[in-house]
């Protein structure tokens, strides 16, 4: 099958450090190639992929300070792709609403994974193109009131080999927090949990420009370099070490998180997760087995001693079963098949197994 993947241009594929969408796109694309699909990746020119790479700029836009209108490059990429849409059996977009108008003008079906959140502004576009096929990354992410044509929910996956299992946390124990330092990620609550339990807290993640004031005024004064440590934006290797050596990872979000990769990254290393029960959290954490889903800050504090006693092997096995890259790609192949059946059900048959699929005109 000939498949086009559209990635955001802000980060390379895979991301150098932080970039959940780009990591998922990288894993999906390379695994599809391994399974025999002919895949073309539209992404930044510094991306590394087993697929055929087409780019409109030589590097991730975030790294090029000369660019003043990044949306221009996204439009150039979408034009390049949809100008040759007839060469593909299916197009898979990871860039949100931007690809919707283009997809409406070609016969090749486009399936849209909604990695982000809905806003009062972008909802207007999604409603206008509600009939196009969509994939959610959690059931909680969906907005039934929009009437979108969802064909599946496909959970994000990771390559377990990139997250070595650590059967025991380091001593003395500490709590971990990894994520953007923004109000919706709850770093303030992570600090409150650490102080209430008396455990050290190691925090890592980037501070976006829009969050600089929040970080400097609300978070930085709480970082003492002893009990509360800030490690900055860490590499993948550093992140894995930080998560795997922790006794518990904290995920005290204050918003409807669409997915939250750090939860499965932590559990893959064996470290249980305590999360606030918003958005996808109840779908990702197995309550009482791989962590705890809590409604309040007080409940998260109370859950720490119990979480420290959970079986770390169970955490690892849970991710292997539900959130591996193989499981994710299996589900995406099924979703592609459903999209093709929707589009061509009145014109041509579709064989169910896409790894050996050959569509023939009636």
pLDDT computed for residue 17 by the predictor: 73
Can you tell me the distance from the alpha carbon of 59 to that of 57, in angstroms, rounded to the nearest whole number?
6
Tokens coding 215: 């970080």
pLDDT computed for residue 194 by the predictor: 98
The beta strand positions in 81-148, using DSSP E, are: 90-93, 110-114, 133-136
Contacts of 231 (CB under 8 A, 6+ apart): 202, 203, 204, 238, 242
Helix or strand holding residue 294 (H, E): strand 291-294
Contacts of 22 (CB under 8 A, 6+ apart): 7, 8, 11, 12, 13, 14, 15, 43
Ramachandran assignment for 168, one of left (phi > 0), alpha (psi -120 to 50 degrees), beta (any other):
beta
Can you tell me the distance from the alpha carbon of 317 to that of 333, in angstroms, rounded to the nearest whole number?
23
Helix or strand holding residue 4 (H, E): strand 2-6
Q: Degrees (nearest 5) of the Cα angle 338, 340, 342?
A: 70
pLDDT computed for residue 345 by the predictor: 66
Contacts of 84 (CB under 8 A, 6+ apart): none
Q: What are phi and psi of 69, to 5 degrees?
A: -130, 80
pLDDT computed for residue 348 by the predictor: 46
**pTM exceeds 0.85, yes or no:** yes
Can you tell me the distance from the alpha carbon of 357 to that of 37, in angstroms, rounded to the nearest whole number?
10
Question: Hey, what domains does the chain have and what are their CATH numbers?
Answer: 2-157+324-356 (3.40.50.2000), 160-321 (3.40.50.2000)
Helix or strand holding residue 327 (H, E): helix 325-344
Contacts of 312 (CB under 8 A, 6+ apart): 165, 166, 167, 168, 169, 270, 271, 272
Q: Degrees (nearest 5) of the Cα angle 264, 319, 331?
A: 100
* DSSP annotation of 179: S
The pLDDT tens digits along the chain (362 residues) read 999 999 999 999 998 877 789 999 999 999 999 999 999 999 999 999 999 999 999 999 888 899 999 999 999 999 999 999 999 999 999 999 999 999 999 999 999 999 999 999 999 999 999 999 999 999 999 999 999 999 999 999 999 999 999 999 999 999 999 999 999 999 999 999 999 999 999 999 989 889 999 999 999 999 999 999 999 999 889 999 999 999 999 999 999 999 999 999 999 999 999 999 999 999 999 999 999 999 999 999 999 999 999 999 999 999 999 999 999 999 999 999 999 987 776 454 443 444 444 433 33
* Residue 246: Cβ-neighbour burial (10 angstroms; 0-12, 13-18, 19+): buried
pLDDT computed for residue 20 by the predictor: 85
Can you tell me the distance from the alpha carbon of 179 to that of 172, in angstroms, rounded to the nearest whole number?
23
User: Distance of alpha carbon 226 from its chain centroid, rounded?
Assistant: 31
Residue 203: C-alpha distances to residues 211, 247, 330, 361 (Å): 16, 14, 34, 56
């Amino acid at each position: 099958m000939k498949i086009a993947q559209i990635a955001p241009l802000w980060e390379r594929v895979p991301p150098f450090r932080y970039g959940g969408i780009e990591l998922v796109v990288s894993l999906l694309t390379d695994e599809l190639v391994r399974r025999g699909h002919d895949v073309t990746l539209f992404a930044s020119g510094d991306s590394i992929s087993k697929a055929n790479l087409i780019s409109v700029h030589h590097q991730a836009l975030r790294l090029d300070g000369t660019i003043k209108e990044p949306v221009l490059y996204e439009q150039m990429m979408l034009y390049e792709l949809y100008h040759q849409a007839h060469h593909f059996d299916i197009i898979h977009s990871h860039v949100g609403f931007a690809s919707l108008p283009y997809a409406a003008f070609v016969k090749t079906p486009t399936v849209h994974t909604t990695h982000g959140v809905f806003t009062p502004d972008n909802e207007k576009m999604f409603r206008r193109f509600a009939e196009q096929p969509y994939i959610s990354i959690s059931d909680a992410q969906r907005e039934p009131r929009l009437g979108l044509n969802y064909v599946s929910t496909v959970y994000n996956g990771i390559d377990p080999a990139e997250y070595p299992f650590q059967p025991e946390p380091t001593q003395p124990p500490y709590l971990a927090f990894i994520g953007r330092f923004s109000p919706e990620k709850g770093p303030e609550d992570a600090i409150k949990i650490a102080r209430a339990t008396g455990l050290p807290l190691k925090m890592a993640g980037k501070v976006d420009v829009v969050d600089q004031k929040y970080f400097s005024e609300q978070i930085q004064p709480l970082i003492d370099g002893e009990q509360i440590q800030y490690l900055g934006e860490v590499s993948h290797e550093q992140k894995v070490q930080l998560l795997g050596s922790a006794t518990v990872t904290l995920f005290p979000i204050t918003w409807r998180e669409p997915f939250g990769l750090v939860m499965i990254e932590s559990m893959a290393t064996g470290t249980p997760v305590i999360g606030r029960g918003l958005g996808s959290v109840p779908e990702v954490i197995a309550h009482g087995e791989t962590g705890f889903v809590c409604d309040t800050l007080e409940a998260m504090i109370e859950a720490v001693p119990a979480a420290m006693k959970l079986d770390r092997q169970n955490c690892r096995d849970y991710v292997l079963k539900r959130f591996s890259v193989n499981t994710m790609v299996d589900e995406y192949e099924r979703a592609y098949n459903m999209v093709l059946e929707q589009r061509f059900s009145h014109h041509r048959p579709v064989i169910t197994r896409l790894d050996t699929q050959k569509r023939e005109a009636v």
